[in-house]
Amino acid sequence: SIFASLIVIIILSFITQIIVNDQKNSKNVLLNKIPSHDKEKIFGVKIRQENKKGEKFLIIAETLVESNSEDKKIFLENSLTTIEQNGIFTNISAGYAIISNDYDKFDFSDKVKITKKIKKFVLKTDSLSGAFQKGYYYTDDDVDIVSRNIRIKGKGLNVKKNGEYIKIKGKAKLNMNFIE
């Protein structure tokens, strides 16, 4: 029985090690996509951009690496993106970000947070991907959404048309606080 319990302990330690390594590797997935042959890192970055619709973008990041490939991907570290659409400001912060397709497509990871103060909306998750112009984004990670007096915690998220359609993919927990 001692031999059997030692085998069980060894197997459990291997399983635990695999799980811990997977979690560490998943947080650095975006960093591994940075091509080593591209331009050097730029520190203390501020990018101002305006699209055809008049929506303004301000991206602030600790570091930036720009890809020399066709898609002109931009790799950001510790970024804060502010978007102004019709007087409504949206702030997006993330530990790592990849922006491509002329500032339309994005992949955020490592403590992603979206805030719309005027709508009292906050979304927190580990990763988020999508397209700015279509207002479409998704994740398979845990999400924590606060919108006015409603709080939703769930697994996975699908958003279309900048929030007109929101779907939690897995189980979700909804809390509502009624104000008297």
pLDDT tens-digit profile of 99-125? 888 777 889 988 999 898 888 889 899
Say what the pLDDT of residue 81 is: 87
CA dist list (Å): 37 to 40, 41, 67, 85: 9, 11, 9, 36
Mean pLDDT across 128-144:
86
Candidates 143, 139, 96; CA nearest to 124 is: 143
pLDDT at residue 33 is higher than 70? no
Can you give the pLDDT at residue 147?
A: 84
Show Cβ contacts of residue 38 under 8 Å, excluding neighbours closer than 6 positions: 65, 66, 67, 68
- pLDDT of 27 strictly over 60: no
Q: Any idea which residue has 């059997």 for tokens?
A: 4
Q: Is the pLDDT of residue 76 over 80?
A: yes
Q: How far is residue 111's CA from residue 161's CA, in Å, rounded to a whole number? A: 23
Give me the chain's average pLDDT, please: 80
Q: Could you tell me which residues come within 8 angstroms of residue 20 by beta carbon, excluding any fewer than 6 positions away? A: none
Residue 4's pLDDT band (boundaries 50, 70, 90)?
Answer: confident
Residues in CB range of 167: below 8 A, 6 or more apart: 157, 158, 159
What three-state secondary structure class fits 25? helix
Q: What is the pLDDT of residue 113?
A: 93
